[in-house]
Structures are given as C-alpha cells and as structure tokens.
Amino acid sequence: MPHLFDALPIRSLTLANRIIVSPMCQYSSVDGFANDWHVVHLGSRAVGGAALVMTEATAVTPDGRISPQDLGIYDDGHAPGLARIVHFVHPQRALAGIQLAHAGRKGSTRRPWEPPGTVTPANGGWQPVGPTGEPFTDNTRCRDLYGSTKSQASSPHFAPPRNARLGRGSMWLKSTRRTAI
C-alpha cells in the first residue's frame, strides 16, 4: 500500500512524494504578471515538502481572466516571472505546475472579498467571452466566442502556452476551460 511520503510516478515524471498543492486563486497579479507574491506563496509550499505546486488558474488570453488581478500566460513577457517560480521550486525537490485556464462567461469579475459584480471596461475590465452569448449572471453581458457555428472546438489559445519553455525545465500543465460554467 502506498504511503504519503512514497514517490509517485506519473507518466514521464516522478514526484518525490504524494503531497500536491492544488491551484489557488491569488488575485495578486498586475496585467497577468507573476511577482514576488507568487514566488513566496508557491516557493514556501515547495520548501515545506510538497512534491508538486500548481499556480493559480493562469489565463491564456487577457479576456480569459476571472479578474483583472489573475495570472496570465498570454504575453511573452509573462514567461520570465513564471520561470522565476520554476527556478526556485525545482531545487527544493519539487515540480512546478501551471493550470491553463479561460474563465469564459465568468470573466471580468471582482475579487471575492470585494462587493460582488463585474468589473466594467472603464475600471479595467472587459466583456466576457463564452461558448454562447448567455451571461454568467443577470446583470452581465457575454460575447459568443463561436458565433453562429456553435462549434465546441478547443480554443487555439491553449496551444502556445503548452509549448512555452520556462527556463531550466518546464512546468507541469493542466488545462481548465471554464467556458461551460
């Protein structure tokens, strides 16, 4: 019977143990960029013995963020900040993971500790994009991503981040699409 501190092989990777830090929204980015907060938050979990630490849901497009403060990987400039996390986490015998995401019609919302609602374009928000034009709530609007074709094809924006190299090593990937929420 496996134990918590036994190694865990997953395909071509082997985790040092079975402790995994799941993605937790931090709402601490500016324009999608990782910063000191992310290095400390994820790095401290790696130092504490977690074998895999996952970034928060990381948007593949600017309009794919849940809030204006979400982490992103839609700009080449985002890679150095994410690489900094990888460079700190890997020497701790841990792997760094990234959850690729698109908020869909839930996009452009306020952080949980702020009054509920959407962030307007005048205040740094955007019009959410979803698989249909159906809004997330009664007082929001949503642009139909697929138009009249109603195709459920995968967003092409998930492909480039999968190919991004973030310095020494790369990040373990998990894709999450929230367009059906």
- Confidence tier at 11 by pLDDT (50, 70, 90): confident
Q: Please give the average per-residue pLDDT across 79-107, as a whole number.
A: 91
Q: Please give the average per-residue pLDDT across 27-54, as a whole number.
A: 97
Q: Which of 78-82, 164-168, 175-179 comes out lowest in average pLDDT?
A: 175-179
Residues 106 and 136: beta-carbon distance below 8 Å: yes
pLDDT one-digit tens code per residue, 110-125: 999 999 888 989 999 9
47, amino acid identity: V
In percent, how much of the chain has pLDDT > 90?
A: 54
Residues 174 and 99: beta-carbon distance below 8 Å: yes
- Confidence tier at 105 by pLDDT (50, 70, 90): confident
More confident residue, 6 or 179: 6
Task: Reply yes or no on whether the pLDDT at 177 is more than 60.
Answer: no
Q: Tell me the C-alpha distance between 54 and 38, whole Å.
A: 11
Q: Which of 45, 116, 102 is nearest to 70 (CA)?
A: 102
Alpha carbon 70 to chain centroid distance?
8
Residues in the chain: 181
Domain boundaries of the chain, sorted by first residue: 8-177
Q: Is the pTM of this model over 0.95?
A: no
Overall fold of domain 8-177: TIM Barrel (3.20.20)
Alpha carbon 118 to chain centroid distance?
19
Task: Reply yes or no on whether the pLDDT at 133 is more than 80.
Answer: no
Q: Please give the average per-residue pLDDT across 150-164, as a whole number.
A: 53
* pLDDT at residue 175, as a whole number: 43
Q: Which of 44-58, 144-158, 163-177 comes out lowest in average pLDDT?
A: 163-177
In this structure, the number of other CB atoms found within 10 A of the CB of residue 139 comes to 9
Q: Give the tokens for residue 5.
A: 């501190």
